[in-house]
Amino acid sequence: MSQSLTLARPYARAAFGLARDAGALPQWSDALAFASRLAADPRVASLLGHPALARTEAVALLSPDGASETFGDFLALLADNRRLAQLPEISGLYEELRAEAEGVVLATVTSASALPDAELDSIKAALRKRFGRDVHLDTAVDENLIGGAVIAAGDVVIDGSLRGKLARLQSALTH
């Protein structure tokens, strides 16, 4: 995974620069999200790696309706360099760069069950206070957490899950 991120990073920076210069950060977010969802699909991924797939066909397949010519050129560059498989990583890194430029913290709340909106609003307010920036929350459910939640925001991870607490207790008892 880290090698894939290393390969994706310069392309994400290039995409961000192109989008910023064009004043089209949201449009590029949407286009990259569309292309990365397709590229992550196993059926499409096997097609993208096929040597008989022409660059123009790959670009047509991965470009959403209404995408800019510059976005198509970007996809063509990825195709030429055999980097279409890195589209999910490129999209994720692009979103991090966009969030940083817009002064937003991207956070993910993973809980054992779906959290009510009031609780999510409370978490968002606490993160906004901690980081001093606007917060965009994504949510996920992982029943293996047993209870509680894990909040990941940038480099900060707050593990308030029951599974995490049990692991810490086990570690304390064995040392």
Taking 80 as the threshold, does the pLDDT of residue 52 lie above it?
yes
From residue 34, alpha-carbon distances to 27, 77, 100, 151 in Å are: 11, 17, 21, 26
* Residue 33 in tokens: 């999200």
Residue 58: partners with Cβ closer than 8 Å, 6 or more residues away: 48, 75, 79, 84
pLDDT at 144: 87
Taking 80 as the threshold, does the pLDDT of residue 143 lie above it?
yes
pLDDT confidence of 1, banded at 50, 70, 90? low
pLDDT in tens, 90-127: 999 999 999 989 989 989 999 989 999 999 999 999 99
Instruction: Answer with the residue of higher pLDDT: 167 or 91.
Output: 91
- Which residue has 């292309």 as its token pair? 35
pLDDT in tens, 55-100: 899 999 999 999 999 999 999 999 999 999 999 999 999 999 999 8
Distance of CA 35 to the CA centre of its chain: 13
pLDDT in tens, 4-49: 888 999 999 999 999 999 999 999 999 999 999 999 999 998 888 7
pTM of the predicted model, to two decimals? 0.76
